[in-house]
Amino acid sequence: MLIVMKFGGTSVGSAERIAQAAQLAADSAAQGHQVVVVTSAMSKVTDSLIAAARQASAGHWDPAIRQQLYDRHKAVADAVIGGDPVRHAAVLEALSQRLDRFEKLCFGLSMVHELTPRLLDAISGTGEMLTAPLLSAAIAAKGRASQPVDATDLIVTTDQFGGAEPLMDETRSKTQARLQAVLANGEVPVVTGFIAATRDGVLTTLGRGGSDYSASIIGAALDADEVWIWTDVDGVMTANPSEVPEARTLAEISYSEASELAYYGAKVLHYKTILPAFRQRIPVRILNSFNPKHPGTRVSVEGDPSLAGVKAVTSIRGVILVAISGTGMQGIPGIAAKAFDVVAAQQANILMISQASSENNICFVISAAEAPGVVTALRSALEMELMRGHIEEIGAEPVAIVAAVGDRMRGTPGIAATVFTALGTEGINVIAISQGSSERNISMVVREPDAAAAVRAIHRAFHLGS
């Protein structure tokens, strides 16, 4: 089998974790599989790179940050490959070069004070460029030939910095050209997650948490047999285990369930991960690098059709409900069209839409970062309607979305009733509701402080913990 395996931040977060990740990759290779590794940055590194970039753009560049990053990665090199002076020296050299580049970028930024999305990508992508040589050397230390590969040589994207999209045809030919010979040689390539490059070679990133997406893009480009996401929990669970302690691992879910869950806040998978794998029907597994004997979750076409009803509950915090309302909106055509044109022009991503049947209110949910721009643009595009009193208000309110997801909610009566009874019993007010026509998701807007209780109430009502 050709397996693309991705290790998340906690799975490469220390010397011990990197040794374990290297062991898992080497074991699969020893079983006769072709293995491509995709690595995240060590846990918290991307956050500190972004913080450093922001500080630098405010004129404060603190060289101690470079030293801290060097020390943390060098400590891993000492522990994991200290016994091999040649390899150790080569890794330290790679770390220094990559941190020199980071330092120069930050220093430049502290002079020009302008943090563009392009520059932020160039800086925030450094973390993966530090782990790839380390993890590759750790695999070699386990006796399996390996080489680090920068994904800038594999994945070609658009220039939407901070959330670039792969151009699959070009990515396919570049990835195959670069990796096939390495694999044929029995080597394990260790690819930087998260980063990619435009056609002109300018570094881009796929968005926060995007290393999962890198793995499925590379899996699709290589026609891999499976994509494995190694993380710090036993798979995709019925709810976020840090919020719902009784959450259980789901043995099997469908591509559509996985996409819905990821889209509605299950951080365990980046929300774009499923699509490239789904297009080619490549099975995806979510596995625990801290508990590798656990079979984890398998994402497949069928999912587990024996499980009816709601399979899992998720939430997205920190989002904004934009509501356009007014009794005069009734019967005035085109307000919704105008509003959604504005949102599209702002390139904002709508997470959920709901319109009351009275037509007095159209509301939708977008991310907090996008809200100010969208609201300003709406007020200007709908100025006439506001002046004439057809629209009374364009409001923006911080909220959370809670979603109940399951393929077989479709055709199972009484699900909505159970959801709303559960919330009602807890005294949780539902601000807006939406159920897609696919019927595999009911989402509700609630006040942010109610989100955790809402997730727990729905989880309990469907007995998902037992």
Name which of Mg ion, ligand ADP, ligand ASP, none residue 41 binds, using a CB cut-off of 5 to 8 Å depending on partner kind.
Answer: ligand ASP
Decide: helix, strand or coil at residue 204. Answer: strand
Alpha-carbon gap, residue 235 to 294, rounded angstroms = 9
- Amino acid (one-letter) located at 211: S
312 contacts which partner out of Mg ion, ligand ADP, ligand ASP, none, CB within 5 to 8 A by kind? ligand ADP
Using Cβ positions, the residue closest to Mg ion within the complex turns out to be 209
The helix-helix angle for 64-81 and 126-141 (nearest 10°) equals 10
Nearest approach, Cβ of residue 44 and ligand ASP (Å): 8
Scanning 147-304, the segments in alpha helix (DSSP H) are 168-184, 211-221, 255-263, 274-279
Q: Which stretch binds Mg ion (CB under 5 A): 5-13, 45-53, 57-65, 455-463?
A: 5-13
Residue 39 beta carbon to ligand ADP: minimum distance, rounded to whole angstroms: 11
The reply to whether 127 sits near Mg ion by the rule CB under 5 A is no
Tell me the three-class secondary structure of 100-143, residue by residue: HHHHHHHHHHHHHCCCCHHHHHHHHCHHHHHHHHHHHHHHHHCC
Footprint of ligand ASP on 19-48 (CB under 6 A): 40-41, 46
Q: Does 193 bind ligand ASP (CB under 6 A)?
A: yes
If the CB atoms of residues 28 and 39 are measured against ligand ASP, the closer one turns out to be 39
Sheet-wide strand order for 430-435: 352-355, 361-367, 312-325, 393-405, 441-447, 430-435
> What radius of gyration, in Å, describes the C-alpha atoms of the chain?
24
Encoded one letter per residue, x for contact with ligand ASP by CB under 6 A and - for no contact, window 97-136 reads ------------------------------x---------
Least distance between ligand ADP and beta carbon 337 (Å): 35
Which one of 139-147, 166-174, 207-215, 339-347 is the stretch in contact with ligand ASP (CB under 6 A)?
A: 207-215
**Pairing relationship of beta strands 34-39 and 2-7 according to DSSP bridges:** parallel
Residues at the site binding ligand ADP, with contacts judged by CB under 6 A? 8-11, 40, 209, 231-233, 236-237, 239-242, 266-268, 312
320 phi and psi angles, rounded to 5 deg: -120, 130
Q: Write the burial class of residue 232 (CB in 10 Å: 0-12 exposed, 13-18 middle, 19+ buried).
A: middle
Could you count the other beta carbons within 10 Å of the beta carbon of residue 353? Answer: 15
Q: Which is nearer to ligand ASP, 74 or 208 (CB)?
A: 208
Q: How far apart are CA 258 and CA 260, in angstroms?
A: 6
Query: What residues numbered 199-218 form the site for Mg ion, per CB under 5 A?
Result: 209
Which of Mg ion, ligand ADP, ligand ASP, none has residue 127 at its interface (CB below 5 to 8 Å by kind)? Answer: ligand ASP
Q: Which is nearer to ligand ADP, 101 or 267 (CB)?
A: 267
User: Which is closer to ligand ADP, CB of 61 or CB of 213?
Assistant: 213
Three-class SS state of 337: helix
**Closest to Mg ion by CB, 229 or 250:** 229
CA distance 225 to 371: 41
Partner touching 358 among ligand ASP, Mg ion, ligand ADP, none, CB below 5 to 8 Å by kind: none
Q: Measure Cα distances from 258 to 227, 252, 276 in Å.
A: 14, 10, 13
6-45 footprint of Mg ion as x/- string (CB under 5 A): --x-------------------------------------
Closer to ligand ADP by Cβ: residue 198 or 231:
231
- Using CA atoms, how far residue 239 sits from 21, 259, 326, in Å, is 26, 15, 37
Site size for ligand ASP, by CB under 6 A?
12
For residue 364, give Cα distances in angstroms to 190, 338, 454: 41, 14, 20
User: Which segment (51-59, 204-212, 339-347, 372-380) binds ligand ASP by CB under 6 A?
Assistant: 204-212
Pick from 209, 296, 303, 406: which binds ligand ASP (CB under 6 A)? 209
46 binds, among ligand ADP, Mg ion, ligand ASP, none (CB under 5 to 8 A by kind): ligand ASP
Residue 354 in contact with residue 434, Cβ under 8 Å?
yes
The yes or no reply on residue 13 touching ligand ASP (CB under 6 A) is no
Phi/psi for 165 (5° steps) reads -110, 135
| Chosen residue from 5, 9, 404, 405 binding ligand ASP by CB under 6 A | 9
Cβ contact 262:39 at 8 Å: no
Nearer to ligand ADP, 10 or 214 (CB): 10
| Residues 438, 166, 216, 351, Cα dihedral to 10° | -30
Q: Which residue is nearest to ligand ADP (CB)?
A: 8
Give the footprint of ligand ASP on this chain (CB under 6 A). Answer: 8-9, 40-41, 46, 127, 193-194, 208-211
Give the footprint of Mg ion on this chain (CB under 5 A). Answer: 8, 209
